[in-house]
Amino acid sequence: MKKLKILFLCTGNSCRSQMAEGWARHLKADVVEPYSAGIETHGLNPNAVKVMAEAGVDISGQRSKYVDELKDIDFDYVITVCDNANESCPMFPRKTKVLHVGFDDPPRLAKTAETELQALDCYRRVRDEIKQFVEKLPDNLKEV
């Protein structure tokens, strides 16, 4: 069976798209060939790495990539995981389906946290929401 090539696209490819790629590799490697990129690059968010490691998923070897670095890959789906990426999504070949599944921005949520624990809880919540979405791949792509 051919694996679906899925690109998780976010603004800076530092957090949400990285977590989605990590979950897809961890949970769906048999049916999905996951990638992540950004319309900009902001580097890998250390708190995203930390909360994913807590869940048993190592994303520390991933790196922040600009979407143009992946232009030669023929994706089946591009999933924008933030509103900005959805609004600024580049054009993809006609056969590529572009879907938007927005998740809250953990760094933005964490700005109001009073402690490091509260800040990490913001990341954990979004991590778990992304996991729930990825667990249902590829069936949920028909519903979005």
Residue among 68, 59, 53, 74 nearest 17 (CA): 59
Give the whole-number percent of the chain exceeding pLDDT 70. 99
- Active-site residue 89, yes or no? yes
pTM: 0.94
- Active-site residue 122, yes or no? no
Residue among 27, 55, 89, 110 flagged as catalytic: 89
- Active-site residue 15, yes or no? no
For the domain spanning 4-138, the CATH number is: 3.40.50.2300
Q: What is the CA radius of gyration of the chain?
A: 14
CB 22 within 8 A of CB 131: no
CB 86 within 8 A of CB 13: no
Predicted confidence at residue 143, as pLDDT, reads 63
Predicted confidence at residue 129, as pLDDT, reads 98
Mind listing the pLDDT tens digit for each residue in 23-78? 999 999 999 999 999 999 999 999 999 999 999 999 999 999 999 999 899 999 99
Residue among 59, 82, 126, 130 flagged as catalytic: 82
Q: What residues does each domain of the chain span?
A: 4-138
